[in-house]
């Protein structure tokens, strides 16, 4: 029988395209709740952060932010800032591009990720933030 469970994970970020690995906490929720087969939907409420997967190693933790600095730089003109003056126009553009959700399948209680593939929250806002990710599990229990 398939069940749906809605939980959350709190993440503290430094903002400024800080990349945080949430793989272990996501896997721990699966195990704690006894799910065997199905999918985890991760979703970040808010419009300046995103979810994706990445090989979580020091080089890419610099490369991916530098990529965003090139394609959606801070410091150019954003109409958002003319009204709101919060200096985070680039944060919104980056987050809408990368998207707020990620769905990862699991089987036998294990996330079906590659060995060098981690689930990450990327906080594009221009200041430190505490984020509460929605983690919704759909699947069968043991």
Select from 9, 113, 126, 141 the one that contacts a second copy (CB under 8 A): 113
* Nearest residue (CB) to a second copy, 14 versus 99: 99
Q: Are 124 and 95 within 8 A, CB to CB? A: yes
10 or 58: whose CB is closer to a second copy? Answer: 58
Q: Which is nearer to a second copy, 29 or 102 (CB)?
A: 102
Distance CA 134, CA 138 (A): 13
Least gap, CB of 32 to a second copy (angstroms): 19
Dig out the tokens for 49 from the structure: 């952060």
* Shortest reach from residue 110's CB to a second copy, in Å: 11
Pairwise CA distance, residues 91 & 104, whole Å: 25
> What three-state secondary structure class fits 71?
helix
Strand partners, 5: 137
Least Cα distance to 129 among 11, 9, 7 occurs for 11
Q: Which residues bind a second copy (CB under 8 A)?
A: 2-4, 6, 37-39, 41, 43, 45-47, 52-55, 57-60, 62-64, 67, 70-72, 78-84, 89, 92-93, 96-105, 107, 112-114, 116-117, 134, 136, 138-140
């Amino acid at each position: 029988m398939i069940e749906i469970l809605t939980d959350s994970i709190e993440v503290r970020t430094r903002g400024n395209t800080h990349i945080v690995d949430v793989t272990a906490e996501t896997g721990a929720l699966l195990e704690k709740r006894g799910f065997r087969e199905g999918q985890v939907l991760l979703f970040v409420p808010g419009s300046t952060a995103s979810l994706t997967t990445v090989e979580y190693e020091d080089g890419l933790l610099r490369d991916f932010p530098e990529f965003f600095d090139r394609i959606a730089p801070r410091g150019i003109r954003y109409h958002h800032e003319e009204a709101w003056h919060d200096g985070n126009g680039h944060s919104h553009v980056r987050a809408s591009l990368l998207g707020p959700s990620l769905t990862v399948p699991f089987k036998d209680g294990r996330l079906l990720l590659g060995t060098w593939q981690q689930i990450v929250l990327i906080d594009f806002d221009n200041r430190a933030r505490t984020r509460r990710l929605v983690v919704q599990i759909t699947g069968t229990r043991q």
